[in-house]
């Protein structure tokens, strides 16, 4: 009975509360069908970032290491656009086309995030957009 009351209370509160949702796209994604980020109250959900260099309109050259640095710079730039910072990130999802790059990813990741680190998951995927080698999606909260 206690579990039912708690569940009902949580459900009722979530249904009665009105969240402010803002779809953000400061830089635009051109014809791509997604938002750069979505803000729900004080939580910012970022779309996945790849090692794309917006100035040159292509993936950065240099392979996995260069792409990983660019991914994390892109995340930092999106966060800053909406007045968030890397320390506001609470969760990251990492996609690698080669799971053997996991250790190198961690080395680079620690240059952009400091303890206490965000919660994180990582997994290998067959392919990523534009044949990128790494993609990272984040959630930030204030």
**CATH 3.40.630.30, domain 19-141, yes or no:** no
Mean pLDDT of 3-28: 57
Q: Is pLDDT above 60 for 29?
A: no
Mean pLDDT of 7-16: 42
Q: Is pLDDT above 80 for 15?
A: no
| Residue 24 pLDDT | 77
Mean pLDDT of 95-121: 98
Q: Where are the domains of the chain?
A: 19-141
| Residue 18 pLDDT | 84
% of the chain exceeding 90 in pLDDT? 72
Q: Is pLDDT above 70 for 97?
A: yes
| Residue 21 pLDDT | 85
Mean pLDDT of 46-70: 95
pTM of the model: 0.83
% of the chain exceeding 70 in pLDDT? 83
The 3-state secondary structure of the chain reads CHHHHHHHHHHHHHHHCCCCEEEECCCCCCCCCCCCEEEECCEEEECCECCEECCCCEECCCHHHHHHHHHHHHHHHHHHHCCCCHHHEEEEEEEECCHHHHHHHHHHHHHHCCCCCCEEEEEECCCCHHHCCEEEEEEEEC
Q: Is pLDDT above 60 for 136?
A: yes
């Amino acid at each position: 009975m206690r579990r039912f009351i708690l569940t009902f209370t949580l459900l009722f509160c979530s249904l009665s509360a009105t969240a402010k949702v803002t779809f953000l796209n400061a830089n635009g994604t051109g014809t791509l069908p997604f938002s750069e980020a979505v803000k729900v109250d004080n939580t910012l959900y970022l779309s996945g970032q790849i090692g794309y260099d917006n100035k040159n309109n292509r993936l950065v050259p240099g392979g996995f290491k260069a792409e990983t640095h660019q991914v994390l710079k892109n995340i930092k730039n999106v966060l800053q656009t909406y007045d968030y910072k890397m320390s506001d990130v609470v969760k990251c999802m990492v996609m690698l086309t080669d799971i053997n790059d996991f250790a190198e990813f961690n080395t680079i990741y620690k240059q952009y995030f400091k303890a206490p680190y965000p919660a994180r998951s990582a997994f290998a995927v067959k392919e990523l957009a534009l044949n990128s080698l790494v993609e990272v999606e984040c959630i930030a909260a204030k």
